[in-house]
Structure 1
């Protein structure tokens, strides 16, 4: 599976499927996010990653600290099960999960949606790694990724998308994260960061696996990171 190919195919599909006014609002929203400077405010390489303890899709609490005990954590921030680009990304990482495990790099994914929605996502996509619920977007904000949808996009979600985001997120709010991918070292420092205001662009797991493989060629000899 080539994630970039699938993302581009999905982008073209929606470009042709959506009415022109809807596409225009999305373009304005992306322009607005670009002008906001949010990418520059997100957590960067060399900074300490905020810790967290969140429920996964089964309700069990998972902490960043507990996963870092296993190795450098690959941390994915996604918008929700309603986002086809998020689903493609999670499915792609699931297919690559055994290879991340071989590098002792556990996968975690965080979204603002509730545990029920994450459970539906996990069942539909067959994910074996935790999908964590950041209800209220506290972790998203700590990583500098959270933003509140402008009125134009809220109208799209309520009408054209038929996606009741405040219900899905279980907090009554209209907050989403910028999609992002981080690698957190065992010392809690950010080793790798990919953040993009365009929700249609994501970090390819193949590129990340190559980066991890080059950095930690001798997995057995690796100590604390």
Structure 2
């Protein structure tokens, strides 16, 4: 049974891979070996998503969920708190502009393993964007 793994990523990076994308890229050979696909979903604009996929030389699909509709469907979309927004702006990061929106919304980083029938078989999410699902955990749950 072929499965799809979807990862919603929280934070765009100016340099280097986003942790979850890097982990996914490292695990991709074993994921494919098990007959599964890896699909990442980004809150960025389609252009920024494509640029990141090319820049990072990712070997899996990186899709844009610019309006947060998919994240909202999975109930992982949230509005960035004012205090966090202020910190991000202090670093020159404008999430709303980068993601092409008027509002500061992001998905909680999450990993879903979805079977071919569309049933969710595994979920791992953490509101702390620095904590990511270990690749071996994903592989073990395929």
Aligned equivalent of 1:140, options 71, 78, 98: 71
What's the TM-score once normalised by structure 2's chain length?
0.91
**Deviation per CA, 1:54-102, whole angstroms, max 9, x where unpaired?**
xxxxxxxxxxxxxxxx821011010242288971221121122122111
* Equivalent pairs, count: 142
**Deviation per CA, 1:13-38, whole angstroms, max 9, x where unpaired?**
xxxxxxxxxxxxxxxxxxxxxxxxxx
Query: Which residue of structure 1 lines up, in the alignment, with residue 57 of structure 2?
Result: 126
Superposed displacement of residue 149, structure 1:
1.0
Higher relative contact order (CA 8 A, sep 6+): 2
2:19 is the counterpart of 1:88: yes
Query: Which residue of structure 1 lines up, in the alignment, with residue 108 of structure 2?
Result: 178
Looking at CA atoms only, which structure, 1 or 2, has the larger radius of gyration?
Answer: 1
Which has a greater percent of helix? 1
Unaligned runs of 5+ in 2: none
- 1:169/1:137 Cα in 2 relative to 1: closer, same or farther (>3 Å)? same
Query: Which residue of structure 2 lines up, in the alignment, with residue 196 of structure 1?
Result: 126
> Secondary structure in 1 aligned to 2:133?
coil
2:92 is the counterpart of 1:167: no
> Secondary structure in 2 aligned to 1:144?
coil
User: How far apart, CA to CA, are the structure 2 residues paired with 1:180 and 1:205?
Assistant: 13
**Deviation per CA, 1:89-141, whole angstroms, max 9, x where unpaired?**
21121122122111111011112111221122212321111111111101101
Runs (4+) of structure 1 exceeding 4 A deviation are 83-86
Query: Which residue of structure 1 lines up, in the alignment, with residue 28 of structure 2?
Result: 97
- 1:80/1:123 Cα in 2 relative to 1: closer, same or farther (>3 Å)? farther
Aligned CA RMSD, in angstroms, stands at 1.9
The answer to whether the 8 Å contact 2:7/2:20 transfers is no
What's the TM-score once normalised by structure 1's chain length?
0.59
1:1-225 correspondence to structure 2 within 5 Å: 71-82=2-13, 87-159=18-90, 161-212=91-142
Unaligned runs of 5+ in 1: 1-69, 213-225
User: How far apart, CA to CA, are the structure 2 residues paired with 1:130 and 1:83?
Assistant: 20
